[in-house]
Amino acid sequence: MPAYSSPIRRLIRSRGALLAGVLGSVAALLVTTAGPAAAAEPPAPGKPVQPGQAWMGAGTRIEQGPASSADGGMSTMDTSGVQGIDVSHWQGAINWGSVKAAGIDFAYMKATEGTSFKDSRFSANYTGSYNAGLIRGAYHFARPDASNGATQANYFASSGGGWSRDGKTLPGVLDIEHNPSGSMCYGLSTTQMRTWVNDFYNTYKARTTRDVVIYTTASWWNTCTGNWTGMSTKSPLWVAHWGTTSPNIPSGFPTWTIWQYSATGRVSGVSGDVDRNKFNGTMTRLLALANNTA
């Protein structure tokens, strides 16, 4: 016959087991959030990227070849000047305190894509980077075959791409590059593409008061806009050019404001590869860009 167990003893045991379970769950949570989570693997080179799953550089690698650990004329360990990274959900959970301690001054994170996709890690990245003391901003991955530019600019501005003069928020970015899911120029003529970009710019400025930053490559811009110079005096340029000591600049732009020089950088706090960027100026100038006092 089993030994007698009073209701009081059974209650104490059950509460003790419950408490142990809760403490164990908390400990496990602390372990899993202490460092960066393992990064997910994006589609392999040559595989189409499904709508909603693109990232900054997804089309660039079609033009410039799959990134390798040796890409970039600058070493991925070079921390000279004002350094930044750009991220999306593909990087997984990020320890932003470690990123800041590693000498990274600014970060851009994917907010939206097309007309209905919001990056699953955007809120965590946007808040985490801010709390760690980085100057940060949001980018929109353009899908010109999905809608007109105004529609996507409105979606971006309403879904994380806004701006405020708080010393920590950079203007939003229009990421427009080689289509990672189909034809290079999304089926648009050069005239149609110019209209698309201009509509996005005008709508974003009306919503935020800021000039949108344009991320692109010289090859894509010159081909798909027909060497258009119409944005050269309006939008800061973020140029993507890996494996060189000096990036090629798209037609019309006088110089680059941000240069994505590597797609295979390594930074403490981020699991796996991460895009590395350099700002063309001092920290004072970066703050001026954030505060619209440039």
Give the CATH number for residue 95.
Answer: 3.20.20.80
Q: Is 86 a catalytic residue?
A: yes
Q: Please report the beta strands in 133-181, taking only residues with DSSP state E, as ranges in sequence order.
A: 135-141, 173-175
Q: Is 63 a catalytic residue?
A: no
The tens digit of pLDDT for each residue in 35-67 reads: 566 678 899 888 889 999 999 999 999 999 875
Residue 157 falls within a domain, yes or no? yes
As for how many domains the chain has, the answer is: 1
Among residues 71, 86, 119, 275, the one annotated as catalytic is 86
- Report the alpha-carbon distance of residue 205 to residue 56 in Å, rounded: 22
Among residues 71, 105, 113, 175, the one annotated as catalytic is 175
Per-residue confidence band for 286, with pLDDT thresholds at 50, 70 and 90: very high
Residue 33 falls within a domain, yes or no? no
Model pTM score: 0.86
Q: Average pLDDT for residues 141-169, to the nearest whole number?
A: 98
Among residues 113, 119, 177, 275, the one annotated as catalytic is 177
Per-residue confidence band for 90, with pLDDT thresholds at 50, 70 and 90: very high
Domain that holds residue 123: 81-291
Stretch among 26-30, 104-108, 147-151, 181-185 having the lowest mean pLDDT: 26-30
Q: Which residue has the higher pLDDT, 44 or 286?
A: 286
- Angle between helix axes 190-208 and 149-158 (nearest 10 degrees) is 30
Q: Is 175 a catalytic residue?
A: yes
> Is the pLDDT at 69 greater than 80, yes or no?
no
Stretch among 20-24, 94-98, 274-278 having the lowest mean pLDDT: 20-24
Residue 57 falls within a domain, yes or no? no
Residue 50 falls within a domain, yes or no? no
> Is the pLDDT at 12 greater than 50, yes or no?
no
Residue 161 falls within a domain, yes or no? yes
Residue 12 falls within a domain, yes or no? no
Cα-Cα-Cα-Cα dihedral sign, residues 139, 242, 259, 39:
positive
Residue 64 falls within a domain, yes or no? no
The tens digit of pLDDT for each residue in 200-233 reads: 999 999 999 999 999 999 999 999 999 999 999 9
- Report the alpha-carbon distance of residue 153 to residue 292 in Å, rounded: 19
> Is the pLDDT at 97 greater than 70, yes or no?
yes
Residue 175 falls within a domain, yes or no? yes
What does the CA dihedral 210, 216, 217, 222 come to, rounded to 10 degrees? -80
